[in-house]
Structure 1
Amino acid sequence: MRSFIGLDLSAQDKLALENWREKSLPGLPSSNARTANQPKVPVRQPKPVPAANFHITLCFLGNINDRQHETVIANLDDVTATPFEVTLDMTAFWQGPKILLAAPTAPPASLMSLAASVNSAARQAGIDVERREYRPHVTLIRNTKEDYPPPLFAPQLTCQFSQFHLFESVSTPSGVRYPVKQSWPFRSSHSVREKLQRGHF
């Protein structure tokens, strides 16, 4: 199962970000422009990410087996965090994956701490995750080039988060989908009852 751990933007925030993208990049074709009777857009052309797929990855897991899946879920049960907000107020182009993205200029400490915790949970489950510096972002366009015209103006969207999720990456005839397989609401610490149930006393 090809999976990742991440944050899901609310439906309202997804629509707001899509609306900003349409206004700031007027020449970009709509992510819903192609119909069943139209030819598939060549891979080399810029491809807007559907708003339904907007998310912030915390840890990319890749293809994991059943044992890793079960173990990482158990490990994530112990991850704690408090609700936080992330303001997407800048854009950037990444040469490697050839994407245009939106990101926070100053990622909150709570987000960075959560990312470190879920990465640790994944490694403890025997999953070989990347160890490069974590840079939170939302992918807006794929298959872009370095000389792709920048947005006319930067985004200014503050998103609230109170849970994180385990997503599966599923390829379909209409494109990639990211169904949520399991969710973990943020909590600062386990209650006494939870600790008793988990045998922590």
Structure 2
Amino acid sequence: MDSDKPPVASRQRLFLALWPDDGVRRQLAAHAEQWRWPAGCMRYAPQDWHATLHFIGDVASEKVQSIATAAALPLQPFGLVFDQPRLWPRGLAVLCASEPPAALIRLHEALGQALGALDLALDPRPYVPHVTLARRAEAAIAPRVFAPVQWPVQCFALVLSTGLKAPRYRVLRQYR
């Protein structure tokens, strides 16, 4: 066995997501700094911010390539505005899009069909585009006035959840 290479896990935890560029990350950071965060809150690091399109979950490593291929769908660039800070159940602090653009909904649906064709289970809940800013944030206070985050979407990604504190996620493939 080659000791210079890390072992390949037999299962991988995957999701498809909009992955921000540096400009969007700066906007998200400016927004996050306007919240009042309670002690004990687990804030996400800027490199971990994303907007999930579909959570895929644990899959056998040999299926990753077929998922990557199935997700290679055309993307029509669109603008997305995150303008609704919210506290969700179980202590999630999120920034939501109050008016998801039709191009985002079409992308979500097309990716869902591609994943369904691979017999992958899809989340049955309605799709709510959001960026998770923190966990254990039940007592957080969202800003009342802030500049909405303007996200010019030009790509999405297949992402691996590493199970580590850092890096929490690793982009396996980007689709433009």
Q: TM-score range by the shorter chain?
A: 0.7 to 0.9
* Total equivalences in the alignment: 165
- Aligned partners of 2:108 and 2:26: how far apart in 1? 25
- Distance (Å, rounded) in 1 between the aligned partners of 2:153 and 2:122: 23
C-alpha distance in 2 between matches for 1:129 and 1:155: 33
Query: Are 2:159 and 1:150 equivalent residues in the alignment?
Result: no
Partner of 2:88: 94
Tell me which stretches of 4 or more aligned residues in structure 1 moved more than 4 Å: none
Give the corresponding residue for 1:122.
115
In structure 1, C-alpha distance between the alignment counterparts of 2:91 and 2:122, rounded to whole Å: 21
The correspondence for 2:61, drawn from 55, 62, 66, is 66
Counterpart in the other structure of 2:156: 164
Q: CA deviation at 1:67?
A: 4.0
- Alignment counterpart, residue 84 of structure 1, candidates 59, 70, 78: 78
Aligned residue in 1 for 2:175: 184
**Distance apart, 1:120 and its partner CA:** 1.5
- Which residue, out of 89, 109, 128, partners 1:135? 128
Equivalent residues in 2 for 1:99-118, closer than 5 Å: 99-118=92-111
Question: 1:154, CA displacement in angstroms?
Answer: 3.8
CA distance in 2, matches of 1:121, 1:142: 31
- What's the secondary structure of 2:104's corresponding residue? helix
Alpha-carbon RMSD? 1.9
Amino acid aligned to 1:181: L
Shift of 1:111: 0.5
Which is greater in Rg? 1
Please report the TM-score for the alignment, with normalisation by the length of structure 2: 0.85
Q: Which residue is equivalent to 2:19? A: 8
Paired residue secondary structure (1:119): helix
Question: Does the residue aligned with 1:74 lie in a helix, a strand or coil?
Answer: helix
Tell me the TM-score normalized by structure 1: 0.75
Residue segments in structure 2 that go unaligned for 5+ positions in a row = 1-11
